Amino acid sequence: MNKEKIKKLLKELLPYVIIIIIVILVRTFIITPAVVDGDSMLPNLQNNNVIILNKLDFKLNDIKRFDVVVVNYKDEKLIKRVIGLPGEHIEYKDNCLYVNGFVTNENFNHKNTADYKLEMIGYLTIPGDKYFVVGDNRTDSTDSRVLGLIDKKDILGSVSYRIFPLNKISKIK
């Protein structure tokens, strides 16, 4: 090939290379799809739902109570809901969430929660940069009640949208 043909080919390929680089950067640092594996987030997320993991949102903003997050636990990605924040005492009694001794309304669908105190995993309050997370399907979820508190560095991002199945595209509450 002569130099002119090579230049022309490179010029034609450049937009495609740029698009590929942008897609890789967006997927690596901003958003990426993830698949729900299991029933721990029923009734809000079902097995095999595809969600959008927002990697940037929680890095720019504080993690808030009731955010749905993806957690890296021993190289497994778990989808859970943040219930307890650093500095708080968490307790469930008679299916009610108590934060620092006060009833806190959980404004999303979830299964019944057995009585539980943070002391059951060895803490009076949640230390800094740790979070208490649970699945919405409280009777069938491996979460902080079993795994212990989750380090902030192990939270990969927040979940805001379900994009599959198509008839269930929605914002996650």
Task: Examine the residue annotation and report whether 40 is marked as an active-site residue of this protein.
Answer: yes
Task: Examine the residue annotation and report whether 158 is marked as an active-site residue of this protein.
Answer: no
Q: In angstroms, what CA-CA distances link 80 with 83, 100, 111, 135?
A: 9, 21, 14, 5
Longest Cα separation, the chain: 79
Please report which residue ranges of the chain form alpha helices under DSSP H.
Answer: 3-29, 57-60, 144-147
Catalytic residue among 55, 80, 130, 158: 80
CA distance 135 to 131: 13
Token pair, residue 28, equals 């690596």
If one counts every other C-beta atom within 10 angstroms of the C-beta of residue 136, the result is 24
Report helix, strand or coil for 6.
Answer: helix
Q: Which residues pair with 118 in a beta bridge?
A: none
Report helix, strand or coil for 98.
Answer: strand
Catalytic residue among 40, 141, 144, 158: 40
Active-site residue list: 40, 80
